[in-house]
Chain A
Amino acid sequence: MAASPIEQFEVYPLLPIQVGNLDLSFTNSSLWMVITVAVSTVILAFSARGGALVPSRLQSVSEMMYELVANMVRDNVGSGGRKYFPFIFTLFVFVLFANLLGMLPHSFTVTSHLIVTFTLAAVIFVAVTIIGFYRHGFHYFRMFFPHGAPLWTAVILVPVELVSYLSRPVSLSVRLFANMTVGHVLLKVIAGFVITLGVFGIAPFIFLIALNALELFIAALQAYVFAILTCIYLHDALHMH
């Protein structure tokens, strides 16, 4: 029997650190987070260093990422969104590189753990709520009741809107976590078929190659979706509905 498909998500300490009752060990998850930050910083800093008018291939990679996020912020956040661009760009690049580095064999996918994605989503949720109350004050509660609806519908609409608002960090984090986990479990299960089927394993092997391409696409797409949903939440906080 092949190894368990869940085994690849195991977190183990590389450098045990114990502070009181807190386990602050430097784990393989921490290591890959450091690698993610290092790789993305090196690539972006190195490619932007030349600043040539006609970009080289590496420079155009970082320019394309910059333009993608800049357009996203301009189209979805609207006026007043410019000052949040660095945050959204950082978020996009971190999630993108974490997802893509997770596709390397024997690596660890940082975003395949719910606590990592939920922390990101919780920071966004709290920040967006604070921005909303800061900009609109008490009027921000108007979010939970659409303009023009008859007053008696408030009994139904307010709880529905409230639940939908509070479930934002959950759906944002679970979407990224589940996409990454399921993709990697699927790859592992299909890879198990390649071994057990012997000569006929060539069929699942071809399927596995196609699936790898799909996973690379999903990795980029989920980073994009994570950033664009942040933009939409930010738009709600800045301009209400």
Chain B
Amino acid sequence: MEADAARYIGAGLAAIGMIGAGIGVGNVWASYISALARNPAAKDDIGANIWIGFAVTEAIALFALIIGLLALFG
């Protein structure tokens, strides 16, 4: 196989890692909304922490993206 072709296939494969991050971020917000539905008074307490959960989960997608970019341009 040509090196260029393998490079594009590798970048595509790296994008699979984003499936997990998609599920994870969906989970974060779903839990947030169901927590708010149960106890709307807790909004301020949860509000700050939700962004930590979001950022930590989102980082996984970005790691996958970095691998993809490395495969393409590295």
**B55 in contact with A221 (CB, 8 Å):** yes
Please report the C-alpha to C-alpha distance between residue A178 and residue B66 in the assembled complex, in whole angstroms.
7
Please report the C-alpha to C-alpha distance between residue A229 and residue B48 in the assembled complex, in whole angstroms.
12
**A224 in contact with B51 (CB, 8 Å):** yes
Count of chain B residues near A, Cβ 8 A? 12
B59 closest partner in A (C-beta): A175
Which of A75, A174, A225, A229 is close to B66, meaning CB atoms less than 8 Å apart? Answer: A174
**A175 in contact with B65 (CB, 8 Å):** no
Contact of B9 with A by CB under 8 A: no
Contact of A202 with B by CB under 8 A: no
**A75 in contact with B51 (CB, 8 Å):** no
**B55 in contact with A175 (CB, 8 Å):** yes
B63 closest partner in A (C-beta): A174
Please report the C-alpha to C-alpha distance between residue A72 and residue B58 in the assembled complex, in whole angstroms.
21
Please report the C-alpha to C-alpha distance between residue A75 and residue B62 in the assembled complex, in whole angstroms.
28
Q: Mark A170-189, 1 if CB is under 8 A from B, else 0.
A: 01001100110010000000
Report the minimal beta-carbon distance from B17 to chain A, rounded to whole angstroms. 13
Please report the C-alpha to C-alpha distance between residue A175 and residue B48 in the assembled complex, in whole angstroms.
18
Contact of A6 with B by CB under 8 A: yes
Q: Mark A217-231, 1 if CB is under 8 A from B, else 0.
A: 000011011001100
**B48 in contact with A75 (CB, 8 Å):** yes
Interface residues of B in 35-74 (CB under 8 A from A): 48, 51-52, 55-56, 58-59, 62-63, 65-66, 73
Q: Mark B8-39, 1 if CB is under 8 A from A, else 0.
A: 00000000000000000000000000000000
Q: Tell me which of A72, A221, A232 has the highest count of chain B C-beta atoms within 10 A of its own C-beta.
A: A221
Please report the C-alpha to C-alpha distance between residue A221 and residue B53 in the assembled complex, in whole angstroms.
12
Chain A residues near B52: list those with CB within 8 A. 225, 228-229, 232
Chain B residues near A175: list those with CB within 8 A. 55, 58-59, 62
Beyond A6-B73, A75-B48, whether A225 also contacts B55 by CB under 8 A is yes
Q: List 29 A-B contacts (CB under 8 A).
A: A72-B48, A171-B56, A171-B59, A174-B59, A174-B62, A174-B63, A174-B66, A175-B55, A175-B58, A175-B59, A175-B62, A178-B62, A178-B63, A178-B65, A178-B66, A179-B58, A179-B62, A182-B62, A221-B55, A222-B55, A224-B51, A225-B51, A225-B52, A225-B55, A228-B48, A228-B52, A229-B52, A229-B55, A232-B52
Closest 9 CB pairs of A and B: A178-B62, A225-B55, A175-B59, A171-B59, A178-B66, A228-B52, A182-B65, A225-B51, A178-B65
